[in-house]
Amino acid sequence: MKDLSVYCRKGDNRNEPVLLFEWGWMAMDPFSQVILIISVTSFFTFQWLFHKVSPWISRHISPGFAGLSDKQKVEWNSRTVSTFHALLVGLFCLYILCFDDAVNEDPVWGDPTLVKTNVAITTGYLISDLLLIFYYWKAIGDKFFVVHHLAALYAYYYVLGQGMLPYFANFRLLAEFSTPCVNQRWFFEVLGYPKTSGPNMANGVAMALVFFMVRIAVMPVYYSRMCAVYGTEAFYLVPWGGRVAWICSSICLDIMNIMWMHKITRGCYKVLRSAHRSKKVSAPQENGKTD
């Protein structure tokens, strides 16, 4: 924990301490050149993956890719890059949660070095994806994603620029683990896989389980840590903009997560029920005929 016992007093001899704001600024890590380089490198890497790597790999591993329309190929490459980003930052996030003692012990002002690296990678990806969304608006344009990306970049400013709330910023990246299954669902759909096909149903069940684990089941842990630091001296060193980006965005995002979980569960149940009925209809009766 950082030493929060540095105070200044007003000139009226009162015993009520006032936090030294100059100390607060000194405690905040500046936007280092290394983090900037990582963000820029991330941006160009994801652009390269979209324009060069994804089309080349997709042509070789999926014969159906060649038959897609130009708009579908744009979204295909976008989702391929999205899957790669999700796995990369998700695994990095899991490592930090398990082994970064400084962040886990001090969720507000713990050493943000590893978290800032992970968030810098995500920042580069978000800016890259925003550029692609605007350039290929007719294919992948979505106002919701624009708002989502801009809101995320606003929140990440406080992590990268001032080094605050590393635990909570990193914890949020756990949600990326559900992205590959969501993208795979789209891949199956565009390739013409029936909803009741084995691969599609297996992915649907996996999507529901993973989404629940990384977005719903973790809520008690996340908000218990938030309540634990609320009102502490470390909390009051966070500026109002940072508190809004942290608390309000978390609540809004989790309301959406609950709504999405409800839709995913209903969809998964319908597909499994439909598959069960089809199997039951096609099953032979005692006389050797089907229903």
> Which residue, 64, 7, 28, is CA-closest to 159?
28
pLDDT value at residue 14: 41
Rounded Cα gap, residues 272 and 291, in angstroms: 19
For the chain, the first-to-last Cα distance in angstroms comes to 69
- Average pLDDT of span 3-10: 38
Burial group, residue 50, by CB count within 10 angstroms (0-12, 13-18, 19+): buried
Rounded Cα gap, residues 277 and 121, in angstroms: 46
Rounded Cα gap, residues 217 and 209, in angstroms: 10
65 has a pLDDT exceeding 70: yes
Q: Which residues contact 156 (CB under 8 A, 6 or more apart)?
A: 119, 122, 123, 169
Arithmetic mean of pLDDT over the chain = 85
Rounded Cα gap, residues 78 and 223, in angstroms: 32
Rounded Cα gap, residues 138 and 2, in angstroms: 50
> What angle do helix axes 219-229 and 249-282 make, rounded to 10 degrees?
170
Kindly state the percentage of the chain with pLDDT values over 70: 84
pLDDT value at residue 253: 86
Grade residue 281 by pLDDT with cuts at 50, 70 and 90: low
Taking the CB of residue 13, how many other CB atoms lie within 10 A of it? 6
Grade residue 26 by pLDDT with cuts at 50, 70 and 90: very low
Q: Map residue 72 onto helix, strand or coil.
A: helix
Alpha helices in 15-112, H assignment, sequence order: 21-27, 33-48, 54-61, 70-99, 101-105
- Average pLDDT of span 80-102: 95
23 has a pLDDT exceeding 70: no
Highest mean pLDDT among 25-34, 84-93, 266-275: 84-93
Query: 75 and 139 in contact (C-beta within 8 Å)?
Result: yes
Query: 165 and 159 in contact (C-beta within 8 Å)?
Result: yes
- Domain map (residue ranges) of the chain: 30-277
Q: Map residue 284 onto helix, strand or coil.
A: strand
Rounded Cα gap, residues 189 and 78, in angstroms: 16
Q: Map residue 18 onto helix, strand or coil.
A: strand
Rounded Cα gap, residues 237 and 107, in angstroms: 13
22 has a pLDDT exceeding 60: no
**pLDDT tens for each residue of 114-170:** 999 999 999 999 999 999 999 999 999 989 889 889 988 988 988 998 889 999 999
Beta-bridge partners for 33 = none
> Which residue, 134, 173, 179, 127, is CA-closest to 153?
127
279 has a pLDDT exceeding 70: no
